[in-house]
Amino acid sequence: MSVWARLVAERPRLVIVGLLALSIALGAGLGRSVEEPDTLEAFIPRGTELGVALQRLDEHFPESGRTSVVQIVLRGEVLDTGHLAALARTVDTLVADPVVTPVLDHDQPPVTHAALIADLAGVAPDELTPAAVAAAFAAPDDDPRRALLDALVAGPDPAAGRADAAIGGIQLKRGDRPVTAVAAAERRIDEILTGTDLGPVQVGTLSESTFEDATDRALVDSQVLFPVAVLAIVAILALVYRAVDDVLITFSGMILTSVWMLGAGGWLGPRGAGVVGGSTPVSIIIPVLLIGLTVDYGLQTTGRYREVVAEGVAPARAAAAAVRSAGAAVALGAVTTAVSFLTSVASPLPPIGDFGILAAIGIAAGFLIMTGWVPALRLLLDRRRGRHSASLYRAGILDNVPGASRVLRGLVRTGTHHPLAVLAATLVVGVGAAVLAVGVDTRFDQSDFLPPDSPFIVDLRFVRETFGGADSTVTAVIVGDVADPDVARHLAGLDLALRDPLSRPSSIVGDPQASLPGLVAELAASDPDVARLADALVSGERDRVEALLDAVTAAAPDRTRALLDRGPGGDDTTLVVAPIRLDGEGPARDLLDWFDDRFDVDGARLTLTGELILPVVVSDAVTRGQTRATLVTVAAALVILVAYFGLTRRRPVLGLVAVTPVLVVLTLVLTTMR
């Protein structure tokens, strides 16, 4: 710190110009900042089977691997005949829309209660009458269309025409198009549905894009809080400084720190070096974090400068002394804090790792600016004041806060006069908090990113409470030698179990939409070669399985390529896609366990993917990394502090003493999460 302190004291203009030049250079990176195009997929853990499975989907099944569902949420008189006709017409409009059509899954037509009622009643949607609606609900229970209708409509007595809720779904397939094409289609569907008069019914949609739009709106709304926070900080600075120039100096340092961090994020982001990703709801909290840290650094530096000046020391020597003494404490705090955040780089979740990198950059920026920019500007201003014979004395920071000195003196007196009592109380609080912190639940839910009164959350909660969960699809990515008889047999068994309502989980709400065994069964009805070999999946030898795969490929080459990729050396990939309805992590975990139990075979692995499955995988990754990251963070802080106090004071045990309050605070924070 001595070199930095001497530079600030002897060449303050050079320090200011240098920091401004760095600010301009880093600030140029602001133009390169981008948002993550897919907020949910940004959290896919690195190096996991899920990440590998999604990569295989993109590489081997560009036209069939990625599907998404736009869920239609309807509330009101959903059996009104005018509404049913209007909904059917609107869906026809959607299907023909030039934005939606290219990514529409034409193998899975839109599902609505209006279309099902018209189909069961045997009339066109615009010809429906109350009697026809009643006839649709009077269809036999074993009719799969009736079962699906019952799953889409809710109310006191739908069969009697009394229903107040309905859901539907439009399935999209990304294919080889960019994710923005699906996002545009999802937004277009929402725009058309919400902008059309559907009678006495309220309509909303649930999709990844509507979630992201809701998140963006929430962030815009929350931006109002940022100026409020800044005003609060300015008010606090005005209280403790009682000097406009010191307030402005510290405030300008806050701005420069944010520019450094945000600009560095642009230079390191997708449009720069590619070290970090785009901004996410996690990364945007870093500027708020830096405000608190930089203000703390500025207060320490300015406070120490005032103390030295009050002793009659010249401004240059006071600036050097402030940087050497307060700067050393700030440097120690900045290093330990930055290292703690950098441990997040080991997180399997990319946004968490990016958060650690950008936070560390911001902390380093805050240290340089608050120990360079602030004292250098203060020194230049005081030199000018000195030339005009103005007094340089200013009250100490604590003296400007009513009662602060008295409270701190009381705390110090209590700690020095009754150390055992203070230690015992701290131990009791720490142990009690640690006990309460055990078993803190870790989860990842989209709803955590939105306020509870957000329309998206209201619709999502309504669907979960009324229909038992949100609708989507799940894709099982199976990697292994499909021609191996054991693998083929397990694949056929999985498909059979998924088609049996008594065997499959309740979260599976229909037969597989796509699977190799399903394709074999369909082709066997019309192709004699496939029919002759169809049983090879269950009981055939390897040669017969190979022959079956060749026959299926010959009979339907395009459909086979959409389900099966034959790799070298038995490195094959095949898909099983099924419709699901999930409500939270519990059912999702049950679904993961069910698939694992049904496909437990040597030489092959099954990975479940889907927008409703990802939160569980992320939650598990957070849980696994949470304890490790905490231990690494505490250990890093301990090593740094022990080394510092050992080298500077020859009392390394002070490092352990300094870390103890961190552990107590950590347990208290975890306790609040219960």
What pLDDT does 479 receive?
A: 92
What pLDDT does 391 receive?
A: 57
Are 268 and 224 in the same domain? yes
E strand or H helix at 308: helix 286-310
Listed residues 166, 199, 232: the one ending a domain: 199
pLDDT-based confidence at residue 230 (cuts at 50, 70, 90): confident
Comparing 138 with 288, the larger pLDDT belongs to 138
What pLDDT does 131 receive?
A: 92
pLDDT-based confidence at residue 523 (cuts at 50, 70, 90): very high
Q: Is the pLDDT reported for residue 223 higher than 70?
A: no
DSSP for 219-261, please give it: HHHHTTHHHHHHHHHHHHHHHHH--HHHHHHHHHHHHHHHHHH
What angle do helix axes 404-417 and 419-437 make, rounded to 10 degrees? 100
In a domain, residue 617? The reply is: no
Are 397 and 409 in the same domain? no
In a domain, residue 225? The reply is: yes
What pLDDT does 133 receive?
A: 92
Are 8 and 84 in the same domain? no
Are 325 and 226 in the same domain? yes
E strand or H helix at 539: helix 536-539
E strand or H helix at 303: helix 286-310
What pLDDT does 211 receive?
A: 86
Are 223 and 193 in the same domain? no
What pLDDT does 20 receive?
A: 95
Section 328-354 average pLDDT:
85
Q: Is the pLDDT reported for residue 389 higher than 60?
A: no
Q: Is the pLDDT reported for residue 390 higher than 60?
A: no
> Residue 109: phi, psi to the nearest 5?
-65, 160
Are 351 and 304 in the same domain? yes
Q: Of 127-141, 334-348, 399-413, give the range with the top mean pLDDT.
A: 127-141
Listed residues 167, 199, 231: the one ending a domain: 199
Structural domain for 113, as ranges: 78-199
Section 183-196 average pLDDT:
93
CA distance 76 to 462: 13
Section 21-40 average pLDDT:
83
Which one, of 88, 116, 111, lies nearest residue 170 by Cα?
A: 111
In a domain, residue 204? The reply is: no
What pLDDT does 624 receive?
A: 67
In a domain, residue 19? The reply is: yes
Are 182 and 220 in the same domain? no
Are 229 and 370 in the same domain? yes
CA distance 477 to 572: 10
Say what the pTM is. Answer: 0.74
Domain count, the chain: 4
In a domain, residue 54? The reply is: no
The neighbour count for residue 200, using CB atoms within 10 Å, is 11
